[in-house]
Amino acid sequence: MKKRVGILISGRGSNMMALVAAARAADYPAEIAAVISSAPDAAGLAWAQARGLPARAIDHRAYPTREAFDWAVDAALTDAGVELVALAGFMRIQSVGFVARWEGRQLNIHPSLLPLFKGLHPHRQALDAGVKVSGCTVHFLTADTDSGPIVAQAAVPVLDGDTPESLAARVLAAEHRLYPYALALVASGRARVEGGRVRIDAVGHPDGCLLSPQP
C-alpha cells in the first residue's frame, strides 16, 4: 500500500511539484493525499488545483493563535487520511503540540548541509563561512529548528563568484532530486528513526567523492 502524503506549502511550491511528479510513477511508494497552503494566494496552491490535486488553503490569518491554526491543519490532514507530512516551503513555525503529534511522520527540507547553517539565510551563511561545498538536507521535524534526524543529503559545489542567489539556484536543483528520493525511503520503510538517528536499509554506496574545486 502506498503511504498517503500531505504536503504543506506557503508559496510557489517547487519542491511540492517535484514530489507530485515523482508520485506519478506506478512504483513510487507514496501518493499525494492533500496539499494545504497557509496562503490562499500561493502560486503553488493554484498549480495544484489546476492539476486536480486535493488542494486547499487554510489561511493562518483567520486563526487567533498558532495552535488554533495548527489544529485546523491537523484536522484537514486527518480527514484526508494522511500518514506522512512533507513541508515544502511552509513558512509557519509549528506549535509544540503539532510537532509532537506528527513526530516521526513529518519531513522537512533545508537548503544547507545540516547541522551547518541552520535558520534563515543559509546561502549567505555558507558564503560568509567560505565553504567549498554546500547542499540540502531532508530531515524529520522536531521541536528544535533544523535539528531533527537526517534522512538524506545532497551536495553541490560552491563556486568562486557565487552570490546567495546563484548558490540557491544550484541547491534548489539538488532539492528537487533529493526530496522525492528521501520521501521514497521513508514511505517504503527503508528509512526509520532508531535511537535518534535515521537507519537506512541497504542502498548503494558509491566509492567516488565530490571534489570542490574540481581537479
Local structure of 101: helix, strand or coil: helix
H or E element, residue 152: strand 150-157
The per-residue DSSP string of 4-43 comes to EEEEEESS--HHHHHHHHHHTSTT-SEEEEEEEESSTT-H
Per the structure block, which three cell numbers stand in for 56? 486547499
Which among 110, 123, 139, 176 is annotated as catalytic? 110
Bridge partner list, 156: 134
CA distance 8 to 151: 19
89 contacts 42 by C-beta, under 8 angstroms = no
> Is 110 annotated as catalytic?
yes
**Which positions are catalytic?**
110
